[in-house]
Structure formats: structure tokens, C-alpha cells
């Protein structure tokens, strides 16, 4: 029971949060975030390094070399390349959010929209979008907009599907309240549906972001430019440390953006609903 209670206090419920803070109880070392991370991540790094030594550079570069290459990326232009790729990624992702959230809200709310759009959203969601790339190239060419569109398509269905699910989960009482106070249909979206579905929307944005990054890489691998081209070249030359370094940078930027979304969620849901305190790290 005591183990559980600890978990409860710190994580699953916030029941005990208040008293903890007030008593100013100092966290033990093993409860400190940095310590836990140092330990677990340090272990992972060590295992990688040892594996790298055992397997040899042909299979797995040692992580120390990867780290060195990550620093080298500051000077050899890799990060500049990645930055320009990310710019397009964010444009596509932003568009997906701007378009996807309203569609999701409407689909979650209106059966008619669901009837008409649902099947296509699901179909495109399960389709390998890679198959559509040639078609997209015809429509928008291979430049800037191609990559934006690919990222857009990779991200939007997650946003739509999650948003719609969030809307369907809204407590009907809230709709009743809004109806009782004569909230017009349009305002309903802004005042009730969006805030109530917000945790789902943000979950969708996070999922979508992950896919946006993937879309970016795949689009660039397809028309071999920027970061994608760099990855292809590095892979071909089997420069694994640089390859891993660049891949790690991509992952890191994805994680960073994800973290930003999480902090948004905390900012946007200050009403103390449970989610706010849970997703991501909590201040102690």
C-alpha cells in the first residue's frame, strides 16, 4: 500500500500535493528528477558505448563519437540545413493544426460531417501516404510547397481524429448548460467544445507533430533535398556517427517541440483538471 500511496501522492492523484508543498518536505535524492535521469540515461548511454565497442563501427558507432558529431553539426552546416527543413515542417504542421482542429471539432459534433468525411479521414489515415507522393508532386511540384503539403498530410489526420474523439467525450451537461444560456452554434465551438476537448486536441497535436517530423524526413528523402539528402548521402557513405548525430538532432528537435506543446497544455488548462498536472514534468 505504501508504494502505491507514494505513486498517488506524486502522480496519479493530486490529493496530497498541497500538504507536501506546505510542509516543504525535501525530496530524497532518489526522488529528484535530475538524479533519476542521470542514472537511467547514463546507463543507456553506457550500454550503447559498450555495444559500440563490441560491435565495431560498421554496425554501431560509439555514442561518444555520435556526440562529437553532434557538436560538429554546429559548424559543418548540418544544423543550418536541418533548420531550413524544420521551418517548412512547422509551416505544414501549423497549417494542419489550423485546418485539422476545426474539422475535428465539426466531425465530433455533427453526425453529418462524420458521415461524409469520416470514411475518407480514416482511409487516408491508414494509407501509406508515400503512395500519394507522386500525385502531390504533380499538383504542387517538388519545391517548398511539396514538403509543406506532405508534412500537412502526415500530421492532419491525427489532429482530426483526436479532436473528434475529444468532442465526443464531452460531458453532455455542458452542452445543456450552453443551450440553456442560448449560446449560438458558432460560439459553442469556442466556448465549450474547444476548451472541453483541449486535452484531446493537444494529444492530437502531439501525435501530429511526431508525424510532421516523419513527413519532413520522408518528403526530403523522396526528392532528396536538405536534411533528407544529407541523410541519404551519409548513409550511402556509411558515415554512421554523422548519420546518427543528425538523426538524433531531428529527434531532439521533435522532442523539444513536443515539450513546448506540453507546456502550452499546462498554460491553457490552469483550471486544475488532472491532466494539467500530469502530462510531463511537474514542478516540485
| Segment 15 to 74, residues that bind another protein, using CB under 8 A | 15-19, 21-23, 31, 33, 36-37, 39-41, 56, 58-60
Residues 214-233 touching another protein, rule: CB under 8 A, are 214, 217-218, 221-225, 229-233
Closest separation in Å from C-beta 214 to another protein = 4
Closest separation in Å from C-beta 144 to another protein = 13
CB under 8 Å to 230, separation ≥6 — which residues?
78, 81, 246
Closest separation in Å from C-beta 102 to another protein = 18
Going from the C-alpha of 227 to that of each of 78, 186, 271, the distances in angstroms are: 8, 42, 41
Of 79, 133, 150, 159, which lies in the binding site for another protein, with binding defined by CB under 8 A?
133
Residues 174-203 touching another protein, rule: CB under 8 A, are 174-177, 179-184, 187, 191-192, 195-196, 198-199, 203
Of 91, 99, 207, 264, which lies in the binding site for another protein, with binding defined by CB under 8 A?
207
Query: Based on CB atoms, which residue is closest to another protein, 75 or 181?
Result: 181
Going from the C-alpha of 266 to that of each of 32, 259, 261, 263, 280, the distances in angstroms are: 21, 11, 9, 5, 9
83 lies in the site for another protein, by CB under 8 A: no
Closest separation in Å from C-beta 95 to another protein = 18
CB under 8 Å to 218, separation ≥6 — which residues?
130, 133, 150, 154, 228
Cα pseudo-dihedral 235, 237, 242, 245, rounded to 10: 10
270 lies in the site for another protein, by CB under 8 A: yes
CB under 8 Å to 136, separation ≥6 — which residues?
146, 149, 150, 153
125 lies in the site for another protein, by CB under 8 A: yes
Of 46, 53, 252, 260, which lies in the binding site for another protein, with binding defined by CB under 8 A?
252
Query: Based on CB atoms, which residue is closest to another protein, 68 or 275?
Result: 275
Of 45, 137, 145, 264, which lies in the binding site for another protein, with binding defined by CB under 8 A?
137
Closest separation in Å from C-beta 140 to another protein = 10
Q: How many residues bind another protein (CB under 8 A)?
A: 121
Residues 231-250 touching another protein, rule: CB under 8 A, are 231-239, 242, 247, 250
**C-alpha span between 185 and 204 (Å, rounded):** 24
144 lies in the site for another protein, by CB under 8 A: no
Closest separation in Å from C-beta 276 to another protein = 10
Query: Based on CB atoms, which residue is closest to another protein, 98 or 116?
Result: 116
165 lies in the site for another protein, by CB under 8 A: yes
Amino acid at each position: 500500500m505504501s508504494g502505491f500511496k507514494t505513486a498517488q501522492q506524486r502522480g496519479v492523484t493530486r490529493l496530497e500535493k498541497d500538504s507536501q508543498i506546505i510542509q516543504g518536505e525535501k525530496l530524497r535524492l532518489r526522488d529528484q528528477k535530475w538524479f533519476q535521469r542521470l542514472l537511467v540515461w547514463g546507463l543507456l548511454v553506457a550500454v550503447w558505448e559498450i555495444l559500440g565497442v563490441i560491435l565495431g563501427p560498421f554496425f554501431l558507432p560509439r555514442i561518444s563519437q555520435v556526440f562529437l558529431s553532434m557538436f560538429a553539426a554546429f559548424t559543418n552546416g548540418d544544423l543550418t540545413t536541418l533548420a531550413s527543413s524544420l521551418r517548412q515542417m512547422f509551416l505544414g504542421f501549423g497549417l494542419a493544426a489550423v485546418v485539422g482542429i476545426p474539422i475535428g471539432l465539426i466531425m465530433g459534433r455533427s453526425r453529418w460531417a462524420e458521415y461524409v468525411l469520416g470514411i475518407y479521414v480514416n482511409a487516408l489515415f491508414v494509407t501509406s501516404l508515400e503512395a500519394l507522393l507522386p500525385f502531390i508532386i504533380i499538383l504542387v511540384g517538388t519545391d517548398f510547397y511539396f514538403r509543406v503539403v506532405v508534412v500537412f498530410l502526415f500530421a492532419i489526420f491525427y489532429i482530426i481524429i483526436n479532436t473528434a474523439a475529444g468532442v465526443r467525450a464531452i460531458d453532455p451537461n455542458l452542452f445543456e448548460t450552453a443551450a440553456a444560456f442560448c449560446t449560438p452554434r458558432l460560439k459553442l465551438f469556442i466556448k465549450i467544445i474547444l476548451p472541453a476537448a483541449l486535452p484531446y486536441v493537444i494529444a492530437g497535436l502531439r501525435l501530429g507533430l511526431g508525424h510532421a517530423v516523419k513527413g519532413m524526413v520522408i518528403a526530403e528523402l523522396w526528392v532528396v533535398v536538405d536534411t533528407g539528402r544529407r541523410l541519404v548521402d551519409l548513409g550511402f557513405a556509411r558515415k554512421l556517427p554523422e548519420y546518427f548525430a543528425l538523426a538524433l538532432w531531428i529527434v531532439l528537435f521533435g522532442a523539444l517541440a513536443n515539450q513546448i506543446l506540453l507546456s502550452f497544455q499546462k498554460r491553457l488548462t490552469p483550471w486544475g483538471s488532472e491532466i494539467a498536472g500530469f502530462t510531463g514534468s511537474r514542478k516540485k
